[in-house]
Each structure stands twice: as C-alpha cells, then as structure tokens.
Chain A
Amino acid sequence: MYYDERENLVNYSVKDEENNYTEYNLTNKNEKKWDNDFKIDINNININNYRHIKRTLFSDREGFNKGNMIIEEYVPYKNYVYKVVVKGERDELLLKIQELTFKVIDLNLYLDIHPNDEEMYKVFKNTVQELKKYKDMYEKNFGPLCVTDTLYYDSYKWLKNPWPWMNEGGVNNV
C-alpha cells in the first residue's frame, strides 16, 4: 500500500483488493510500481537553483559589450556581438566609467534578488570603489557628470555641451 500526501483522496487499499493485476495495468495512473516512481511537483521546484548554481562574470569590457555580466545568463541573438571602440583620452575615460557603471547596475539587480551572496557583494563593492576613482578623474579633467560634481571648479560648468545625445557625425562618444 502506498500513501501519497498530495493524493490522499484516493483510497489505494480498496483498489488493491479489487484488482490483483494492477501492477501490470499500465493505464492505471494512480498506481505506483516502484519506490522511485514518484510524481514531480513542478510548481515547487526552483529551476534557478538547478540551472544557475554557479555564476561567473565576464570581464568588465566584454560584459559591457554584450549587455550582460553573468556568463550563464547570456543569450545572444544570431551571434551579433559588437565592440565599442573610442578614440581620445576623454572618450576612453568616459567609456571606462560607462563600463563600470554598467557592471554596478547589473550586479545591483542580481543582489536585489540574492542579497546574501557575499562573494558577489565583494565584487560589487570593489567595482563601486573603482568607479568612484575614475569619476573623480573625469570630473577633474573634463567637466561634471552630475550637477553636484562642482568642487573642482570656480564657475558653473553643468550646462556645458556636449549633452549625451549631441553626437555630430560621431565625434563624441558621450
């Protein structure tokens, strides 16, 4: 006799008495033949735990180019992969800031759902530290990225061009 908590409306003992050949009756779905013949409760399986036990990160640049920091979750479309290439000191520094900002954004979303992943938190913290360093460097040399980045200047620089959409003929990377 078998007892299944999820199907306790079925009275197996009565059935066994009625039919001695249930073991060979393949159409009888309520019958279990072996101990490992159990039903899987699909709604209660956390598929993510099986699929992505390990999460490894792309390098900063590669993750930014692909739009996804986590290797296991990357899904390409028709093998389209692009590399951002820029010229000039200012654009290179800005690209570095964009890369690190992107890494912070992606890890931020991940940590919202997995706040107890200490290893990922360490990566997140180091990235924020590095980003701060580069932003400070940019602010010092090329102007503010936030309106409050004003401590290096004697006059109001926030409104200065170029604004991010002003990219005439692809001169500025912004």
Chain B
Amino acid sequence: MSETTEKVRKTLARRYRAEKRFKAFGIGSIGIGLMALVLLFTDIIGKGHSAFFEYEVQLPITFDAEVLDVSDPRDEDELNYGNYQGVIRDALAERFPTVEGRQDTRALNQLVSTGAGYALRDMLREDPSLLGETRTLWLLADDDVDLFLKASEKQREDSRLNTKQQQWVAELEASGETRMVFNQSLFSYGDSREPEQAGILGAILGSLFTMIVTLVLSFPVGVAAAIYLEEFAPKNKFTDFIEVNINNLAAVPSIIFGLLGLAVIIGLFGLPRSVPLVGGIVLTLMTLPTIIISSRAAIKAVPPSIRQAAMGLGASKMQVVLHHVLPLALPGMLTGAIIGMAQALGETAPLLMIGMVAFIVDLPAGPLDAATVLPVQIYLWADSPEQSFEALASAAIMVLLAFLITMNTLAVVLRKRLERRW
C-alpha cells in the first residue's frame, strides 16, 4: 500500500462524517420549513374554514301589507322603506309567544341578522304577489347565534348570548329549525359592520382592478426599459448609475412608495384617494424594479450566438431584438412579471398610505371607485372587535393564498411550457 493511499484512508472517515453532517443539516432545514408551512396552514384553515358556512333560522314570515307599510310592491320607494324588521319581529314573537317584556323582546329580535330584512325586500321585489302571503323561510342568523351554533358544548358557555337567548337558540336547534348553509354572502358582498353580512367580493374586485392597472403599466414599461438597457444603451457611467439605482429601488421599503403616492399622485396630481388606479400606480413603482431585473436576466440568458446569427444575415438591431431576443426571453419576462404581480397582490403598507384602508361597503365598479384590497381587508378584519371577524380574516387569507399559489403555479407552468432549448 502506497503512502498516499494510507493517508487518503485516514481522512476518508472524517470526510464521510462531514458529508453526513451536512446532509442532516440540510434535511433539518427543509424539515423546519415544512413544519412552519404545515403549522401556518393548519392554523389558518382551522380558524377560517367555519367562515365558509353560516347558520340560518327557519321562521314563518307573513308579508303583511300593514306591518310592512307597503301598499304597492312595484313602487321602488315604498319597497325600500318597508318595515321588514317588523314582520321578522312578529314572526319571532309568534314562534316564542311566552317572551314578554321590553328587554327580552329585544334580546329575541337580536337572534336574526339585520341583513335578513334586505333578503325579504329582494324577495318581495322579485315576486310582488307575496304581499299578504305567509311563507316559511330560512333567515340569516345573527353572528353571535352563528358562533354559538358552531361552537362545541364547552365553548358555548363563553357565548356572548345571554342565558335566555341560548335557550331559544337551543330550542330552535333541537327542533331542526336551524341549518348550516354555504356562506354565499362571503363571495357576493363587500365589507360590513355585521360579520354575517361581510364579504370579500369588494376586496377581490379592488385587488383585481389594482392588479390590472399595475400589470398594464409595469409590464410594458419594465420590458421596454430592460430591452433598452440590455440591447441598445451604451455601456457608460450613466447607464451604470441607472442600473445601480434600479437595484436600489428594488430594496426600498414599500411604505416609502406609499408616501410617494400620497405626496405626488394624490397631492400633486390630485387623483382621488382610496382608488385602485392610484394603488395600481404605486404598486407599479414597486413592481417595476422586479420586472426590469428579471427581464434583463431573461435577455442576458439568450445565447449571443443567436444574436450573431441574425446579425450575420443582415438583420437590423431592432429585427434581432423583435424576431429573436424577445421571443426567447419572453417566458422569463412573464415569469418575472407574474412573481412581481404576486408580490404586489400581497402588498399592504403602501396602500394604507393612499387611503385604500377605508371602510367601503359598495362593490367597486371600476378603477376609479373607492375600494380596498384583499390583504388590507384581512388587516381590517383582524383588527375588528367582533369574534366572528377572526374566522372571516382567516377565510380571506385562504382566498388570498389561493390566488398567490395559482399565480406562482402559472409562472412555473408558463416557464416550462414556453421554455425552448437550443
């Protein structure tokens, strides 16, 4: 055995140990990451899943023209000012005839959501012949009733309902006059002070309009800037300076962009507050560096041999870029844009500065209507005192995560699909 072999053998064990240590360390790191992910998802899903369902209470409702104070259901004005709470109160009083006294009556009336009245109005508008008729209807329960019904036996003791209310609800539950249905209002309404009527559609639309504005502004500008810097700009101190600044811009805290939007876009240019247009512009500023940097990387990855081949054939600079570089770099650019968009979708801080944190009930119809966005809605709900909002916030997080995961998957799929080999 030669001297070298002997020496090598001595070190072998140590080398293998080092390798094993490193492997264990890597596996441990991945394990911690996965654990954090599992923890996050179980927590959010555990808290949020109940918000996708809500309880309804069955009551025989009489559309009494006198109580409602509606003589002609086709008259929109009369319809709007009808006393729908009145008929619900009557129905409750009929269901629980033993309840007496002002305080108890009031407590009884609190069992049904105030939103149920609007449901009755809509029914009457749809079908005017209902006036004077009696129908057994499922009405949306109040959020405290909802929480009580969703809670386990033990948790019910901590319910915000008083003892009598708890008895009434238990009675309704026992006789099958309550049911759990899919929470449609979550996906069809805007924000509300009443948790059972609050929805995320307003926030989703706000996010959608903001994203459209961001995409329309940042993608063309970012790609054009990247192509110019990469293919046309002379390499000198000035372009170096620009490059350094783009990289710096990517590291600026996002709230600074919000301040800029507040001062310049709202203050100087006088655009309205709280609108997706301004949010989109601010997020464009934030997304641009990401798109420019990833687009430049994509352009750099196009092999120079392709450029040379085209130039050798007599293609002009512009033709080389449009016919060869751009098609080959596009998958990378799109991936960068989608990741930038995903970042923008999850951004909260700059939008707080420009007033997209306002309490807005109406659904925005366009980028110039006041709106809020999903992450801000989550922030608002997490900040609300009612216990039911906690589940709503978690549900909104789930929806936001679903969007983000979809976008990132799209980026991966797009890259795999469009990727070409040479």
A and B part of one assembly? no
